[in-house]
Structures are given as C-alpha cells and as structure tokens.
Chains A and B, each alone.
Chain A
Amino acid sequence: MTGRTKRCIGMVTVAVVLLLLLSACSRTQIPQDTFNAAGPEARKINSLFWPVFWIAVGVFFLVEGLLVFAMVRFRRRPGAGIPTQVHGNKRLEITWTIIPLVLLLGVAVPTVRTIFSLSHKPAGALEITVTGHQWWWQVEYPSLTVTTANEIHIPVGRPVYVTVTSADVIHSFWIPRLAGKQDLEPGRKNHLIIDASEAGTYLGQCAEYCGFSHANMRLRVMAQSPTDFQAWAAAQAQPAATPASGSMAAAGMDLFQNGRFAGGQQCTGCHTINGVEGASGILGPNLTHFADRTTFAGATFANTPEDLDGWLHDPPSLKPGADMPNLGLSQTQIDQLMAYLESLK
C-alpha cells in the first residue's frame, strides 16, 4: 500500500463531498427539493441547517485529514523497530472532549430557539384541517365551509395553521419546499405552519410508511394571490353544478346517484357531492368540485380523460390496495361518469 493510494482516498472523498455540494446547488426540476425553500418556515430550517452543515464539513476534513495523514506519515517502513509504546495523554483527552462539547452546545442554542419558533401559532393565520386516509388527504377549511381533497389552496404571504390527524394509520404531512414534516396520528391533533412567499404549485407526499400505496399518497399546495384564493374559496363553497338534462353528464349523474355496481356498490356510499341528494359518503374524497382539481387519487394521477378512464376501469390495478374496487363498469358507463365528473367545476 502506497501513499499514492491514500491520496486517492482523499481525492475520492473530496469528489464525493463536492458532488454533494454541487447537487445541493442545482435547483432545477426537483419539485420536492428541501434546499429550494419557498416560504419563511422552510427558510428558518435551512438557515439553521447550513451553518451546522458547514461545521460538519469542517470537522469532516479535519478528522478524516488527521486519519489520512496518520496513515501516510506513520506507515511501516522497512527496518523500523518497535515504536514507542504511548498509552495515552490526559490533556489531549480533555481537549477532544471539551471542544466537541462546546461546538455541540453552540449548535444546541439556535436549535432549541428554532424548535420553539416553529411551534408558535402565528397571529392572523388561516386555519385548515387535514385528515390522512389510506391513501389520500381530506382537506377542510372550517372558516370557509370548504371540503376538498389532495390539493390545498392557500393564499400567498399568509401563514396557514394546519391541524393534522388521521382516520386510519399514521401518515406524515410534508411539503418540503414550505415546511418540515408533521405526523398525522389517529386520535391526536398535531399542528404545523405552512407559508408560501410566492404563487405556485408545491409538491409533497406522505412521509410515514402507511401501507401498500404509501408511494401513491401525494399532495399539492396551490399558493394563490389573496384575491384568487378568495375567488377559489367562494366557488368551492357552492354546491355542485347540475348538468343539463339529456346530456351525457346528466346520465353520468344519474349513474352516480342511483347506479348499483359489482357487489351492490354505489358511488354515493363513499363519496359526497354537495347538493346531490343521497351523495353523502365519507369513506372517499369529496367530489363536489372534482373538475377544479388537477390531479386525483392521492394527487398521483393527472385529472385527464385518459387517466380517469384507466382509473374507473380498475382502481386497485393503478393504485395498489386502493379501497375503491373494480366496479365492472362498461365503457359507456365510464364515459358518462367521466362527463359528469368533468362537469363538476
């Protein structure tokens, strides 16, 4: 083993670290990048992470450097005798106990400060409630009497105080560019704050393993200007539009209200559509303004005719474990239901 090999180790290590840093800097095309903070809450976290990261990088180079230096400098040379048998050194031991201790206490102070700062409920916050289901998110705006699913609309620049809980197993609410995670637990109410500085769509997903389709439990935050948000909320509070009689959508509505499918299943057994008589199921997402959403089924599929068609044919084949069964719908029935769903602006 030669010194050259050891220099190689050093270079590889440096290269790995540089790659880490480079990738941290490239912010393009990664919608859940925690480094690309888009609101004050996420920025608080990053402004705490970066100093700690650089301290860690410093410690890394110091300690790995000492290690590599010791190996190169003290490699066995031909003809060398037995080295001096050093057993220890009290002063050194105290030094390398105290220095890390001081360093860590230095990190602990801002850490604790930020923990409390993030748990503080801001004044004038919009309050919403998010309930986790396997595998989708129910979103309620109690002050606006709006219920939706998977896509959370928020006004830009106003903190949103999110109360989270779960209807079944433990999930975790996470919009990386807006805030850290908060677990959703059955029987408990947890809180976090999300706050977007700019209008835009922010992606997130469930971060606590919750069964078959954990990977397919996604969500989106649509941050809008306050006026756009007000308009959206006002529209959402309205009951669903009734399609013109005789249209394909009307046939779909009839199917939704009265159809019985494989195993006696009914749409209304699981789904609510405000303003439609009998449609008050609560097992699945509220579909009152389905057509307003860009995605469906845990924000996993695009709200397009192709994806919707595939979904209505056989939900569990697209989303493993999904509660919505294959209803054995004919293509005509699917087309009618799709026409109705797409009319629910």
Chain B
Amino acid sequence: MATVAREGPVERSPRGGIFARPSGTTGWWSWVTTVDHKRIGILYGATAFVFFLVGGLEALLIRLQLARPGGHVVTADEYNQIFTMHGLTMIFLVVMPLSAAFFNYLVPLMIGARDVAFPRLNAFSYWAFLFGGMFTYSSFVLGGAPNGGWFGYAPLSTEYPAHNMDFYALGLLMLGIASTVSAVNLFVTIINLRAPGMSMFRMPVFVWMTLVVQFLLVFALPILTIGLVELFFDRRFGTHFFQAGAGGDPVLWQHFFWLFGHPEVYILILPAMGIVSEVLPVFARKPLFGYPVVVMSGIAIGIMGFGVWAHHMFAVGLGPWANSAFAISTMLIAVPTGVKIFNWIATLWGGQISFKAPFLFAVGFIAMFIIGGLSGVTHAVVPADYQQTDTYYIVAHFHYVLFGGSIFGLFAGIYYWFPKIAGRMLSDALGKVHFWLMIIGFNLTFGPFHILGLQGMPRRIYTYPAYAGWSFWNMVSTVGSFLIAASIAIFIFNVVRTMRGARLGQADPWDARTLEWTTTSPPPAHNFEEIPVVHYVDEFWHRKYAEGEDGRLAPVVAGGGHDDLVPGDEQAGGHGSGHGIHMPSPSYFPLVSALGLPILSYGILYSPILVIDGVLLLLAGLFGWALEPSAEPEPATEEPIEPGAEG
C-alpha cells in the first residue's frame, strides 16, 4: 500500500530541522509519538479501562443513593450529573474506545497488513478521544458536569445557563471527530490493505463487524454533530432550533439524537458480536456455523439500525401510523439478531468445547444478550412500551444488551487476545472467578430492574419514597453492583499478577484459527516477517490441519497487500526477518493537532484568545504533519535495518 511504502524505516530521521521525526522506540516518549497500530490499540484499551473504573464508581454512587428510599448519599444536582456522566462515560469513553482498541490492535493483524492505512491519523484519533474525554471530565472542577442526561433532551439541555451542557456538546463533538477519523481510517484499511488472497468473504467475522461499525459511525455521527452544533448555538448564540416558543421544535432534537443513537447501539454491540464469533470457533474447534449468514445478518442489522430510531420515542406523540411503522421495523431487526444467536449455538453443536475464561465470557454474552433481545421485543409492542419507556425496565433492557452483551463480549476478547498482546497468559482460574462473580453480580444488579420498572419506577430519579414499594429490589440491586465491582478487582489483580509473571513460551496458546496468531506474541513492530497469502477463511487453522497446505506459501513483498497480487508474483522484494520492511516513523504532530481541539473548546467557553491559540495549534499541527519528512530513505542509501536495533 502506498502509505506504508512512502514511510521510511523504523529508526531513522534522514532529514533534520524542526520537522525531524522522533525516533525512539522505548520509553514513555515513544508512546506519545507512536503511530504503531498495536501501541495505539493498547493506549485505547488502557484509557478506556480507566474510564471504565470511573464510570463504575459513578454507577456505585447511583446504587448507594438508591439503595434505600430517601437516600442522602448525593444531592439531586450531583445525582443528575453522575447519571449523565455514567451514561456518557460508558458509551463514549468505554465501550466505543474499548472496541476501538480491538479494531486497532487486531484488524491489521487479522487481514495480514503491517499497519492501518493512515498511521498518523490513527494516533490523532486516539489523542482526540483522550482529550475529548478529559475535557468532558474537567467540567466536574469547572462548575459542574453535564446534567441533562446522555440524551440531552432540549429544551432542558438548553435552559441551564451554567456550562454543564456546553461541556456535553463540545466534548461529544470532539469525541465525534475522533471516531469519524478513526472510522475512515479503518474502513480504508479493511478495503485496501488485505493480504493477497484475502477476499472480502475470507475476512474474519470480527473484521467484517468492524467494517460494518465504521460504516455506521461515518453515517450516524454527522447526524449527532448537526444536533450538537444546533444545541450549542441555541445555548450560546440565541438561535431557536429547539425552542417551541420561537418556532423551533424540541422533538427535532429527539429525531437527530435517536437517528444517531440507535445506530450507536449497534456500534456498541457489533464489535462484541464479532469477538464472540472469533472466540466460539476456537474453543469449540469448529468453524463458525453459517459464516456468510452471520456476516450478512451483521450487515442487515447495520442497515436496518437506521430505520428504527423512533422506537425511543413511542410516548412522544408521533401518532399511531408512525408508531406502528417503527414497531414493525423494530420487530424485524430482531430477526437477523436471532439468526446470529442460532448460528453461534450451531457452532458449538458437535464441537469439542473447552471451558476456558474467554469461552465463558463469550457464552455469557449469548446468554445475557438473549434476555436483552427478548425484552427488546417487548418494547416493540408499542402499547406495552407506553408503560415500559422511561422506567427501570428500559434500564434493565439496555444493560442486558450493553453490559451483558458488549462488556461480556469485550472481556471475552480481553481474555482471548491478552496472550497475543502481552505475551503472557492471564490466569484461567482467576478469570473463571471473575466470570462467575460478574455474571451473578450482573443479574442481581440488573435483573430486578425489570421488576422495578414494571412496578412503576421511572428512570433518572434521585430518590423515591418508601410507600412506592421499591425498596427491596433496589437493595438487591445495590448488593449486586458491589459483586460486579469485586469481580473487576479480581480482573485487575489478575492482570497485574500476570504482567509480573513469566512470558508465554508459544505464540498460539489457544490453537487458534486466524492470521494474527501466525506471528509472534506479542507481534513485532512490522507484524509479519512475510505478508501471508490467504486461501481460506480460518487460514491459520488450515495451515495447521489441512493436509497438503502447509509450507508451500511463497514469501510476499514487504508492504504488499493488493488483491491483484497472486502468490508467486511477488518474489522480488522479500528480505525475510523484517529486513528492509518500511514502517511509518513516529510523529509529534497527531498529538499537537489533537491538542488544539480542547484548547479551542475551552476558548469557546472562556476566552477568545484561547480560541485563537487552539486554532493556531491545530493549524501548526496540520502544517507540521504535511511538511515533516516522510523519513523515506534515498533508494541509493537504503540498507537493511534490524528493527529494534537502536533501542
């Protein structure tokens, strides 16, 4: 691919001057300037996990406040900030970036590429995400966090004069930039950088789901962006997009928000579905049942996801015709979802199942997602939803989908790929304790929400009276939430202990099926000594088990990866052992440009001078980005360089 070829060898800055590219490969500075998709993936994952702990603490505060009627742990104002930030955090700062961690780390490895298509843009996405998250959280010390709910319904979100919801609008805009940029990058990567022979229908299902998610992001985020800009204009510049008294329409915001918000639900769940589709076959030692059907139903979910948004709005008063149409579209989207579940079960059928921690989490995903899916169907029954909407029944539903689904799926991925990423195995025994504690705690926490909701407990209330009769199940739920917290503590202990322990002796501990396991664990900076040539779905499995396929593959030109290359054609450039592989150089400028965004945002709220500073920094970063040397060596002086030799 051109991008990779344009970049130079790992540890060289042939041209100096102010634009000299950084060259270190170790130490914290090398992490700041890295453009390596694996390191960026790890940064995404670590950052998202920190936010997961913060969002979890917020959840515990919510549960403490609601444990008993008339709770006094936090005030009404604090409660409103906490539940808003809990939602924003878990969606935008945990599940999305944790999925992005897997996309970044795994997609190039799974498609047999050396990096993503635009490595510096990848770094920019990470920094914009980090700064967006930090910017949003800085509101806690700058007068109050967003307090209008993650859904930010106008005109409530436009009426408070304090900056709370300004941080919401600007923070989400920044996070939207990060996600859009990353989506374009991954989309191009998957379309263009696949190894020779890897046709679209030889891609691992996880890569397919990644592709669908990037499609959803690219089309859904602009809708949110428009809404947020109009919201911010209403707040700060006196426009009336959502002000009924001045000819605007508050319901317009809801259409914007949910037309983004429902595809967003699939943005949150499809990565986990991809992970589960990778994990189950490995532990059942069978290929995924109905691979094309699973892929096509993922695509169908992605497309249909744009046609169901008004099921968040059944009580808005859209009228019986609109409600009926969205009831039917919502029921229909359950079909491809159900098809996936049946295919996963069929994958296990006739297999040789090994009950390791990743498998348990993957099955936990299926078991919990079934419950979330079934409660979802009851929402599609519109009259029933008139009772359910805005109650804890809904809170139960989406936690079964996003925690029982996404989070369990992501933990399956963490346990499964941890040896690939860290070169060390997490303790399986501790992993099982984590799993059982988490699934019991999860059901104790969120199961009772079904009952509470149907017993009339609305969402987003900071208190309730004893006579409401909700005390018992709320207490059960609070106990459950602390079991979840304990399970996370065990996970952290497991990771810390494992990182201090011995390295894994082998690259393929699970007897896996896909390309990322063909290289070392952890992989070298250039991923593969030779670009693999792909003949099958589950290529690695076929190399290990299919007779006659082993060892007859010709080495591939470094940095290659075009579909039109066929094995045997690319002998010329292969050096082997990583020699002469051109990897992109690190760069300061993704960080510099991304740093312009929060400064610009603070400027909008506090000072025009900061606006200018932010814009200048952004521009300086972009100019530096454009002008810095590509670090490509002159052809005459090129000599093989051992990666990592300069330390």
Contacts and interface: CB of A to CB of B under 8 A. Distances in A.
| Main DSSP-derived SS at the B contact region | helix
A98 B274 CA distance: 24
A329 B75 CA distance: 25
Interface of B: 75-77, 80, 148-149, 153, 155-156, 159, 244-245, 249-251, 284-287, 289-293, 315-317, 319-320, 323-324, 327-328, 331-332, 334-335, 338-339, 341-343, 345-346, 348-355, 360, 363, 366-367, 370-371, 374-375, 377-378, 380-387, 389-391, 432, 440, 443, 447, 450-451, 454-464, 467-470, 473, 545
B451 A83 contact: no
Given A52-B381, A207-B390, A214-B461, A31 B469 contact: yes
A11 interface: no
Contacts of B464: 215
Interface string A19-38: 11001100001111111000
Contacts of B327: 108, 111-112, 115
Contacts, number: 291
A92 B289 CA distance: 11
B461 A180 contact: no
Given A16-B447, A207-B389, 18 more contacts: A30-B455, A31-B468, A35-B455, A45-B386, A71-B363, A80-B352, A83-B350, A87-B291, A96-B342, A115-B382, A176-B456, A183-B315, A185-B317, A191-B317, A209-B153, A209-B459, A211-B156, A321-B76
A254 B387 CA distance: 46
B456 A172 contact: no
Contacts of B75: 320
Interface stretch (A62-70, A263-271, A272-280): A62-70
Contact of A100 (B155, B338, B456, B469): B338
B349 A74 contact: yes
A204 B548 CA distance: 72
A56 B250 contact: no
A187 B249 CA distance: 8
B349 A96 contact: no
A74 B352 contact: yes
Nearest to A2: B355
Contacts of B291: 87-88
A70 B345 contact: yes
A173 B251 CA distance: 17
B469 A207 contact: no
B348 A108 contact: no
Contacts of B473: 23
A20 B352 contact: no
Interface of A: 1, 9, 12-13, 16, 19-20, 23-24, 29-35, 42, 44-45, 48-49, 52-53, 56, 59-60, 63-64, 66-67, 70-71, 74-77, 80, 82-89, 92-93, 96-97, 100-101, 104-105, 107-108, 111-112, 114-116, 118-119, 168-170, 172, 174, 176, 179-183, 185-188, 190-191, 203-216, 320-321
B541 to A, nearest CB: 9
Nearest to B456: A32
A321 B380 CA distance: 35
22 contacts: A20-B447, A30-B455, A31-B456, A32-B455, A35-B454, A45-B386, A48-B381, A63-B370, A71-B363, A87-B289, A88-B343, A89-B346, A101-B335, A107-B331, A112-B324, A168-B159, A169-B159, A170-B155, A190-B317, A207-B315, A212-B80, A214-B458
